[in-house]
Structure 1
Amino acid sequence: MSRAFVVREYGGPEQLKLENVEVGAPGPGQLKLRNKAIGLNFVDVYQRTGLYKTPLPFTAGNEGAGEVIAVGPDVTGFQVGDRVAYQGPVGAYADERLLPADKAVHLPEGISYEVAAAALLKGATAFYLLHWTHELKAGETILVHAAAGGTGQILVQWAKAIGARVIGTAGSDEKCEIVRQCGADLAINYKTGDFVAGVKEFTGGKGVDVVYDGVGQATFEPSLDCLRPRGLMVSFGNASGPVSMPRLGILADKGSLYVTRPTGAGYFRTAEDIRTAADALFNMIELGRIKVAIDQTRPLAEAVAAQQALEARATTGSTLLLP
């Protein structure tokens, strides 16, 4: 038997129910893992609330790292004892789980379970945002919202490694200091300052080439005013609530802007896709160009409190649940 947080109804954090479940043997194309570390992400919240419709019931969680303890039929490239990480398939908030083998990536010797579980989903997101959604180039200027969060910190560091100029926003002076330590050229406390005015001043009135916004409703429309003509708005999250366009013509009014709403599911459609992103991320970590901040750790049994803290925007960097 394995402990697992099961969601049987959409709703608040109280819908995360700790149960004992029978995991069973892996089927064709599956691995059985013993989790060593589990990542906490906003997508976990979106699935629990029903914003992202996930068939009920399901075991929560989308990211983790662990040891292969059984290999199903027709699986190649993995064996018992392998160290692996994954992002994407629900089922992470558990001691043990079954995982499609094509969703697993091998861990290099220099990457710990904890770093992998803290970084893979967030780092893979940063990879596709900076390389596939828009191929960021040296000299371009970007705005990153929630830049002190787990994805935000990786975005800032990776964009600086590419050679971009980076403006980051955060919700406190302490978080802004974290953003500066990640290499941002400018950090703006959006609770005490006008980030649109700050962007305009920093760019000499030109605006940024790209906005990366994982906050959603609270920042979407003001962010359009931060873009240069024909700039790109990348809305990749809904931490403050879902975004709705008031009217399509607003993009014309503000300079023939582009908007996209990417998701990991849309970009990581094959095993090669996620392994490409993971290889790039792990290489950047091993080179020291990306440092992964694990700022909160909790026992797996405290998953409810961990999600509550995440929703309250009371965390920085990455949070781990430890079985």
Structure 2
Amino acid sequence: MTDANAVILRDFGGPEAMRLEPVQLPPPGPGSVLLRQTAIGFNFIDVYQRKGAYPLPLPTGLGHEAAGRIEALGEGVAGFRVGDRVATMNAGLGAYADRRIVPADKLVAIPDAVSDDDAAALLFKGMTAQYLLRRTHAVQPGEMVLVHAAAGGVGQILCRWAKALGAVVVGTAGSAEKCAVARETGCDVAIDYSQAGWPEALLAATGGRKARVVYDSVGRDTFLHSLDLAAPFGLVVLYGAASGPAPAIEPELLNKKGCLFLTRPSVFPHNADATTLRANAAEVFAAIASGAIVSRIGARFPLADVAEAHRAAEARATTGAILLVP
């Protein structure tokens, strides 16, 4: 058995519901590895799951992505060795830990040019951006895209990568400071959506041009405006709910707003098998190498201070990615 520490959620609730507890890990079974984690990524889905918005059987671990080194191999594991640097983002809950058992088919090798911190901070968010920009809608040069929460972890990646693909990038963010970050990240226009009249301000800034695709991770506060800001026959991609669930609509509204398309995708079905996972991860790592994705870690918290990390995220008090350090 191996001693480890893991964040356990026994009841849904606020950040204080999470507890770092000692656990004992058995040797890795067939097809699995023991991973010593060096960096853990935070994603807003962690907040939804902690609150019970996405109900889980309790007790449960939390967290979806981490980077580290393999300490032991289970029977039948091929393609990896003890000491290899690897990352995972689709191995089930439990990444909030200093060690864990992970199925080998959920691992991707980290290239030498990418640090553990960057892999943990960027993999989940980069894979989210990858399917949004390349699969949900293959962004083309000259198209206008609108990215809500453009100063956030995924938002910054979307903006920079879309710009590298030749798009005209329009962003929104929740303060003047965050709009400045969005512009630094690649937005041609950045509008503060905490200010009254922001949709009109956005259209004024674009000369009335609307977006071919709108990427909306905010939900309740932006969704209906997203429908107004999409061009006729455009696509609205709702992939998060940072401000709360988006309001229900009648399908006829999509017709009235310009024969729009609406989708609610997620990252996991886009990376459901090892071959697809590793191919998509390779595209993300190549984007990092080319500069289309740049690491911007906004805050680091010790794993023991995970509650403070969640509070900062919910208060929208950070820009860029949040990293947990075991």
CA distance in 2, matches of 1:159, 1:289: 8
CA distance in 2, matches of 1:274, 1:43: 19
Residue 276 of structure 2 is aligned to residue 269 of structure 1: no
Displacement of 1:202: 3.7
1:130 maps to what in 2? 133
CA distance in 2, matches of 1:310, 1:21: 27
Residue 10 of structure 2 is aligned to residue 33 of structure 1: no
- The number of residues matched between the two structures is 323
SS at match of 1:225: helix
CA distance in 2, matches of 1:193, 1:126: 29
SS at match of 1:28: coil
Deviation per CA, 1:132-159: give whole Å up to 9, x if none: 0011111100100011011000000000
Deviation per CA, 1:48-74: give whole Å up to 9, x if none: 112222222211111110000011112
Q: What is the RMSD of the two structures over their aligned residues, measured on CA atoms?
A: 1.2
Worse-superposed segment, 239-248 or 63-72: 239-248
Aligned equivalent of 1:300, options 292, 298, 303: 303
1:63 maps to what in 2? 65
TM-score (norm. length: structure 1): 0.97
Contact 1:199 1:207 in 2 (8 A): no
CA distance in 1, matches of 2:246, 2:291: 35
2:173 maps to what in 1? 170
TM-score (norm. length: structure 2): 0.96
SS at match of 1:264: coil
1:130-279 matches, cutoff 5 A? 130-192=133-195, 194-279=197-282
Displacement of 1:122: 0.3
After TM superposition, which residue ranges in structure 1, 4 or more long, deviate above 6 angstroms? Answer: none
Deviation per CA, 1:186-209: give whole Å up to 9, x if none: 011111253321332244334110
Q: Which amino acid aligns with 1:114?
A: D
1:47-62 matches, cutoff 5 A? 47-62=49-64
CA distance in 2, matches of 1:8, 1:37: 24
Residue 120 of structure 2 is aligned to residue 108 of structure 1: no
1:11 maps to what in 2? 13
Counting aligned pairs with the same residue, the percent is: 49
Displacement of 1:288: 2.2
SS at match of 2:25: coil
2:22 maps to what in 1? 20
CA distance in 2, matches of 1:179, 1:312: 18
Contact 1:199 1:208 in 2 (8 A): no
1:85 maps to what in 2? 87
Contact 1:169 1:176 in 2 (8 A): yes
SS at match of 2:20: strand
CA distance in 2, matches of 1:140, 1:199: 16
Stretches of structure 2 lacking an aligned partner (at least 5 in a row):
none
CA distance in 2, matches of 1:53, 1:271: 26
CA distance in 1, matches of 2:189, 2:207: 14
Deviation per CA, 1:93-141: give whole Å up to 9, x if none: 1110111111110000010000000000000000000000011111100
Q: Which amino acid aligns with 1:288?
A: G
Contact 1:233 1:260 in 2 (8 A): yes
CA distance in 2, matches of 1:100, 1:240: 34
CA distance in 2, matches of 1:195, 1:121: 30
